[in-house]
């Protein structure tokens, strides 16, 4: 079943890549043809300019990936004969890390101490990415657009975390990570198709009693706010989980268990989600309140000016 799913995913990815290349070539040809109609020199400028731009977009990511140090092959367990050698190589690697800048001893205690320092920086990067995704997807409320935003942000997060630990994950780890990203993005987009009003209305009725149903505007506003927070929370949780999985693969001294990695990722995401949701909700609420407050003030000013105008006319008639 798993092999079949991988094959389907590879075929789908290849199809999307081919379609994207065809679309890119088609648009490029149209732009060059438009330039040729204006002037042949302009067509040549557009051609070579686009070629240079495409080369830049391909070369820079490849260069960033290639220049990152290759992953160290971790032993199966700490009792393995290769563990001490791996520890020494890890200490040398961490000593060259620009975020550490000190000599690291080839001892488990010192290596773990340095890794804990990098863990904090990785957690900050993960929280920052999850916070942005929370606010962006909560405000967007567009399932397809949110899926693209989450996919791009999580893909970038994988490499941001890997660069913190000064090594890139193995190809196998990357495939596993991006498979998780794809599944999580699909789940996030499916969350947008749920009719949240049917779920939230009974909750509001239970918490607020008949007040929620008696004030239609209040009910709708509350449903929109809760819907936004729920959408942003689900995407932020999935992003936190991807970041935790990447971190565990990059910092592990031995080959990690997949079950343990998934379990720890869920624990880390749950632990960090509360603060992100709290801060993100405050930002959304403050933005809504500021917008509503300004509109109310404008309406009041307009009403006051209208009343003043009427009073002036009535006074003039008298």
Cα separation of 124 and 130, whole Å? 10
**Mean pLDDT of all residues in the chain?**
75
List the single range of 51-65, 127-141, 187-201, 247-261 with lowest mean pLDDT: 187-201
Q: Is 117 contained in some domain?
A: yes
Q: Tell me if 139 is assigned to some domain.
A: yes
Q: How far apart are CA 17 and CA 49, in angstroms?
A: 23
Give the residue, 202 or 317, on which the prediction is more confident. 317
pTM: 0.64
| 182 in a structural domain | yes
Inform me whether the pLDDT recorded for 66 exceeds 50: yes
Higher pLDDT, 74 or 64: 74
Q: Look at residue 121 in the predicted model and tell me its pLDDT.
A: 93
**Distance (Å, whole) CA 137 – CA 120:** 26
Percent of the chain past pLDDT 70, that is, above it, reads 65
Instruction: Say how far apart CA 147 and CA 137 lie, in whole Å.
Output: 9
> Do the domain assignments include residue 197?
yes
The answer to whether position 31 is within a domain reads no
130 lies in some domain:
yes
Residue 125 pLDDT grade (very low, low, confident, very high; cuts 50, 70, 90): very high
**Mean of pLDDT values over 136-165:** 78
Q: List pLDDT tens digits, range 249-302.
A: 888 888 888 788 888 888 898 899 888 888 888 877 776 666 555 554 554 455
Buried b (16+ CB within 10 A) or exposed e, 223-261: bebbbbbbbbbbbbbbbbbbbbbbbbbbbbbeebeeeeb
Q: What pLDDT is stored for residue 306 in this prediction? A: 52
Domain extent, residue 182, equals 68-291
Digit-coded pLDDT (tens) for 103-123: 888 888 999 999 999 999 999
Cβ partners under 8 Å of residue 89, min gap 6 = 72
pLDDT at position 116 is 92
| Highest mean predicted confidence (pLDDT) among 55-69, 94-108, 214-228 | 94-108
Determine, yes or no, domain membership for 273. Answer: yes
- Supply the pLDDT for residue 278: 85
Name the pLDDT band for 311 (thresholds 50, 70, 90).
low
Tell me the pLDDT tens digit for each residue of 1-41.
667 766 787 787 778 878 888 888 888 888 889 888 888 88
Question: Is residue 261 assigned to a domain?
Answer: yes
User: Total structural domains in the chain?
Assistant: 1
């Amino acid at each position: 079943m798993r092999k079949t799913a991988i094959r389907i995913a590879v075929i789908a990815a290849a199809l999307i890549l081919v379609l994207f290349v065809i679309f890119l070539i088609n648009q490029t040809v149209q732009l060059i043809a438009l330039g040729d109609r204006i002037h042949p020199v302009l067509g040549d400028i557009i051609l070579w300019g686009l070629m240079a731009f495409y080369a830049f977009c391909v070369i820079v990511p490849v260069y960033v990936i290639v220049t990152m140090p290759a992953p160290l092959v971790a032993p199966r367990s700490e009792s393995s004969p290769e563990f001490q050698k791996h520890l020494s190589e890890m200490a040398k690697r961490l000593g060259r890390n620009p975020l550490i800048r000190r000599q690291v001893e080839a001892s488990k205690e010192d290596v773990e101490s340095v890794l804990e320092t990098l863990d904090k920086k990785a957690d900050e990067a993960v929280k920052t990415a999850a916070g942005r995704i929370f606010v962006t997807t909560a405000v967007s409320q567009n399932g397809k657009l949110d899926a693209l935003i989450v996919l791009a942000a999580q893909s970038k997060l994988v490499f941001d975390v890997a660069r913190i630990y000064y090594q890139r994950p193995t190809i196998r780890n990357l495939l596993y990570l991006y498979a998780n990203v794809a599944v999580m993005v699909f789940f996030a987009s499916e969350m947008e198709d749920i009719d949240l009003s049917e779920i939230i209305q009974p909750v509001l009725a239970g918490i607020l009693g008949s007040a929620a149903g008696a004030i239609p505007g209040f009910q709708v506003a509350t449903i929109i706010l809760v819907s936004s927070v729920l959408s942003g929370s689900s995407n932020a949780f999935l992003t936190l989980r991807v970041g935790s999985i990447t971190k565990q693969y990059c910092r592990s001294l031995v080959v990690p268990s997949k079950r343990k990695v998934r379990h720890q990722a869920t624990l880390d995401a749950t632990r960090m989600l509360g603060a992100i949701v709290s801060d993100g909700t405050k930002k959304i609420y403050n933005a809504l309140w500021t917008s509503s407050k300004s509109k109310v003030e404008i309406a009041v000013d307009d009403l006051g000016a209208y009343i003043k105008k009427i009073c002036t006319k009535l006074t003039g008639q008298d």
